[in-house]
Structure 1
Amino acid sequence: MTVDLTRIDIDNGSLPAPTAEIEHERRVAIFDLVEDNVFQPEGGQGGPYELRLSSQDNRLVFEISGQDYTRTHAMSLTPLKTVIRDYGLICESYYEALKGSSPSQIESVDMGRRGLHNEGAELLKNRLEGKVELDKETSRRLFTLVCALYRRG
């Protein structure tokens, strides 16, 4: 287990207001991400790092700080919007399927859900290339958090 990122703060004032369920999802996503991650900002000296996430002008803003390190990166959400929306829709379908579908139907929806999640994680990792190095699992956890940040009740 590697832990380069030790704290994540969310600027709730700049993001959609969360319902209690969404707030719970955000907390779980943050916990999972902080528990195990590979997060190496370009030019950083090995951490530990803290991350503050906010939204400004339809951009996701990463404020990264550590010992002798401070950088801010703003990333347009436009390339991610479709996959975030589709992932949210398939998650809803998955939860509905759990309520009464056959195991094979649940498995089919879950495969689609995982595929979209991997696609979103890879897209996010590519968008951060040259700014922050992430491993596959960290990019998956970070994508989960981004989806939780932009999910509306």
Structure 2
Amino acid sequence: MPEPGPEPRRIARLDLPDASPLPSAYAEADRRQAVQDLLATNSFDPLGVPGGPFVLHLCVRDGRLVFDIRDEAEEPVRAVALALGPFRRLIKDYHLIVQSHEQAVTEGGHEARIQAIDMGRRGLHNEGATLLEERLKGRIGLDFETARRLFTLVCALHQRI
């Protein structure tokens, strides 16, 4: 039997301390799905921090997005704070697209419109993920899918502010 390798550089548990029910069932389902997908598969490497997997407490404090990174025993290992300013346009556009999607689904019979909205949403996710990767460069290494899911959670956290 092969020797077990080092623990993966990943998020094993996620805590959203500010989590409260979102204004719509669609937004709530989107957040739940992002958390589920993130925990199933992710790549999360706080550079210069040994060990892993990690517990991530993700929240917004004083206008900043805070990545409070802990070990599995909940001991703090690093905190990274990002200004939300660079994300505001994307977050606003994301919320508008979510509202448009909900409206199109509720009204029914708008399959082409729903597909177009979904394409726009994917584009915003990609743009948000790229921005998140850039802003975390040199501090936390992520793969693109992890960044996309984290961007969804950033939007959910920002919705309540």
TM tier, smaller = 0.7 to 0.9
Larger Rg: 2
Identify the residue that residue 159 of structure 2 maps to in structure 1.
151
Query: Once the two structures are superposed, what CA deviation does each residue of 1:62-101 show, in whole Å capped at 9, x if it has no partner?
Result: 1112279701111100100110110110111122222324
Residues 152 and 129 (structure 1), Cα distance of their counterparts in 2 relative to 1, 3 Å cut: same
Matches within 5 A, 1:8-47: 8-12=14-18, 17-19=20-22, 21=25, 25-47=30-52
CA RMSD of aligned residues (A): 2.5
The one-letter code sitting in structure 1 at the alignment partner of 2:36 is: F
Q: Report 1 or 2 for greater relative contact order, CA contacts < 8 Å, sequence distance ≥ 6.
A: 1
Matches within 5 A, 1:1-153: 4-12=10-18, 17-19=20-22, 21=25, 25-66=30-71, 70-98=77-105, 99-152=107-160
Residues 94 and 51 (structure 1), Cα distance of their counterparts in 2 relative to 1, 3 Å cut: same
Structure 2 stretches lacking a partner, 5+ long:
1-7
Sequence identity (%): 46
Task: Give the ranges of 4+ consecutive aligned residues of structure 1 lying more than 4 Å apart after TM superposition.
Answer: 22-25
TM-score norm. by structure 2 comes to 0.80
Structure 1 stretches lacking a partner, 5+ long:
none
> What's the CA shift for 1:24?
5.3
Return 17-26 or 27-36, whichever deviates more.
Answer: 17-26
Residues 70 and 120 (structure 1), Cα distance of their counterparts in 2 relative to 1, 3 Å cut: same
Counterpart CA distance in 2 for 1:63 and 1:108 is 36
Counterpart CA distance in 1 for 2:91 and 2:77 is 28
